[in-house]
């Protein structure tokens, strides 16, 4: 049985959606961010970075949400969450997961926490504005990729781990001036992923209410 340490809507959401897709046996363990529990001594033993999520898989304790997604895809190959090893599609799968985690997600963290990068309020506001415009360009790039592909998912017809990751990050843009859903293909993509029963179960179990993205 897996344990997923989570806080509603945080970076645990993509791994959680995959656990539901797989039909895995798991339990959710709340890390109460409102009480800064992700910095508690007990949690830091699981994840010294003090970030959510963590997946516990018997003796394995794993942090970094993209790594957790890859691990779940590897552990449950029958779920088809990653393309075949060595295939061109697998290469594109890696490309998208890396782009999402180290470019889009990293910029979203700048957008949400600009005060970590600037001392003065005016400077922080400027950092936030720049991050918002950079995120917009990244979403445009993804929109163009969806337009160029056969859809409805990032890699084509089959739902993959990267799609859960993309929905999670798009959800985080819902209060931006030009959110992901405002782009036609991304909007359709989000509706398609949200229509999946596994996605709906993950959202419900985290207690996430509409608007979802």
Q: Does residue number 38 form part of the binding site for ligand GSH (CB under 6 A)?
A: yes
Q: Which helix (H) or strand (E) holds 19?
A: helix 13-22
Which one, 81 or 100, has the nearer CB to ligand GSH? 100
Between the alpha carbon of residue 145 and those of residues 15, 84, 184, the distances in Å are 23, 21, 12
Residues 101-120 that bind ligand GSH (CB under 6 A): 109
Check: CB of residue 82 under 8 Å from CB of residue 74.
yes
Stretch that binds ligand GSH, among 61-69, 86-94, 124-132, 185-193 (CB under 6 A): 61-69
Residue 65 interacts with ligand GSH (CB under 6 A)?
yes
Shortest CB 101 distance to ligand GSH, Å: 6
Binding ligand GSH (rule: CB under 6 A), the pick from 50, 149, 152, 156 is 50
Position among 52, 162, 186, 202 found at the interface with ligand GSH (CB under 6 A):
52
Is 8 a binding residue for ligand GSH by CB under 6 A? The answer is no
* Gap between the Cα atoms of 66 and 208, Å rounded: 21
What are the strands of the beta sheet with 2-6, ordered from one edge? Answer: 26-30, 2-6, 54-57, 60-63
Strands 60-63 and 54-57: antiparallel
Residue 88 CB, shortest distance to ligand GSH, in Å, is: 26
64 binds ligand GSH (CB under 6 A): yes
- Residue closer to ligand GSH (CB basis): 93 or 165: 165
- Read out DSSP for 124-143? HHHHHHHHHHHHHHHHHHHH
4 pairs with which residues across the strands?
28, 55
At residue 200's C-alpha, the angle toward residues 107 and 55, to 5°, is 60
Which DSSP symbol is given to 209?
A: P
Q: Closer to ligand GSH by CB, 54 or 146: give it.
A: 54
Contact between 173 and ligand GSH per CB under 6 A: no
Task: Give the residue with the Cβ less far from ligand GSH, 51 or 71.
Answer: 51
Q: What are phi and psi of 61, to 5 degrees?
A: -115, 120
Q: Any contact of residue 10 with ligand GSH (CB under 6 A)?
A: yes
- Rounded to a whole number of angstroms, the minimum distance from the CB of residue 187 to ligand GSH is 23
Note the residues at the interface with ligand GSH (CB under 6 A). 10-11, 38, 50-52, 63-65, 109
């Amino acid at each position: 049985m897996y344990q997923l340490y989570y806080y509603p809507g945080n970076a645990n959401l993509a791994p959680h959606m995959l656990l539901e897709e797989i039909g895995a046996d798991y339990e959710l363990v709340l890390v109460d961010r409102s009480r800064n529990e992700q910095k508690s001594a007990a949690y830091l033993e699981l994840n010294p970075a003090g970030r959510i999520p963590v997946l516990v898989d018997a003796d394995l304790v794993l942090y970094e949400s993209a790594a957790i997604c890859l691990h779940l895809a590897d552990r449950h190959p029958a779920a088809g969450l990653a393309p075949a090893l060595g295939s061109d599609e697998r290469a594109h799968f890696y490309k998208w997961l890396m782009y999402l985690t180290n470019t889009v997600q990293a910029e979203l963290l700048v957008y949400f926490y600009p005060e970590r990068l600037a001392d003065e309020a005016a400077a922080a506001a400027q950092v936030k504005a720049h991050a918002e415009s950079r995120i917009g360009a990244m979403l445009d790039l993804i929109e163009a990729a969806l337009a160029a592909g056969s859809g409805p998912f990032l890699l084509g017809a089959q739902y993959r781990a990267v799609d859960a990751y993309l929905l999670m990050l798009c959800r985080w843009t819902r209060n931006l001036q030009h959110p992901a859903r405002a782009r036609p293909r991304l909007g359709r993509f989000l509706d398609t992923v949200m229509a999946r029963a596994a996605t709906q179960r993950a959202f419900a179990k985290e207690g996430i209410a509409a608007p979802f993205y």
